[in-house]
A and B are shown apart, each in its own frame.
Chain A
Amino acid sequence: MRVTCTVNGRRQVADHVWEGESLLYVLRERLGLPGAKNACEQGECGSCTIRLDGDLVCACLVAAGQAEGADIRTVEGLAAEDGTLHPVQRAFLDTGAVQCGFCTPGLLMATDELLERVPDPSDADIREALAGNLCRCTGYEAIMDAVRLAAARRAGTGERA
Chain B
Amino acid sequence: MDFLRPTDWAGALAAKAAHPDAVPIAGGTDVMVELTFDRRRPDRLLDLSGIPELRRWETGERTVRLGAAVPYRAVLDHLAGPLPALALAARTVGSPQIRNRGSVGGNLGAASPAGDSHPALLAAGAEVEAASVRGTRRIPIDAFYTGVKRNALAPDELIRAIHIDRATGPQQFAKVGTRNAMVIAVCAFALALHPHTGTVRTGIGSAAPTPVRAPDAEDYLTGALAGAGLWEDPRPLPEAVRRRFAELAATACRPIDDVRGTARYRVHAVGVLARRTLDRTWDAYTKGLTPCA
List the interface of chain A (C-beta within 8 A of B): 1, 18-20, 22, 41-44, 46, 49, 55-58, 60-63, 65-66, 68, 110, 128-129, 131-133
Within 8 Å CB of B28, what residues of A? 61-63, 66
**Contact call B36/A132, Cβ cutoff below 8 A:** no
CB of B110 closer than 8 Å to a CB of A = no
Tell me whether B146 is interfacial, beta carbon within 8 Å.
no
Q: Which among A22, A63, A129, A131 is the interface contact of B3 at CB below 8 angstroms?
A: A63
**Residues on B with beta carbons closer than 8 Å to the beta carbon of A63:** 3, 25, 28, 31-32, 35, 45, 47
User: In which size bucket is the chain B interface?
Assistant: 20 to 34
Closest Cβ–Cβ distance, residue A50 to chain B (whole Å) = 9
- Is there an interface contact between B25 and A66, defined as CB atoms closer than 8 Å? yes
B181 engages A131 (CB within 8 Å)? yes
Q: In angstroms, how far is the closest chain A Cβ from the Cβ of B95? A: 3
B96-A128 in contact (CB<8A) = yes
Supposing A20-B45, A65-B47 touch, asked if A132 and B94 sit within 8 A by C-beta, the answer is yes
Besides A43-B95, A132-B96, A132-B182, 5 other CB < 8 A contacts?
Answer: A42-B33, A43-B94, A63-B45, A65-B5, A132-B97
Q: Does B59 belong to the interface (CB within 8 Å)?
A: no
With A43-B94, A63-B25 given, is the CB distance from A57 to B33 under 8 Å? no
- Is A44 a contact of B182 with CB atoms below 8 Å? yes
Within 8 A of A (CB), among B73-128: 73, 94-98, 100-101
The 6 A-B residue pairs with the shortest CB-CB distance in the complex, in nearest-first order: A132-B95, A131-B181, A19-B1, A19-B3, A65-B3, A61-B32
Contact present for A19 and B33 (CB under 8 Å): no
Contact between B33 and A43, CB atoms less than 8 A apart: yes
What chain A residues lie within 8 Å of B35 (beta carbons)? Answer: 20, 63
Contact status A61-B45, CB under 8 Å: no
B49 in contact with A66 (CB, 8 Å): yes
Q: Which residues of A sit under 8 angstroms from B33, Cβ to Cβ? A: 41-43, 61
Distance of A56 Cα from B45 Cα, bound (Å): 23
Which B residue's beta carbon lies closest to that of A25? Answer: B36
Closest to B43 in A: A19
Interface residues as binary, B44-73 with A (CB distance below 8 Å gives 1, 0 otherwise): 010101100000000000000000000001
Q: Which residues of A contact B1 (CB under 8 A)?
A: 18-20
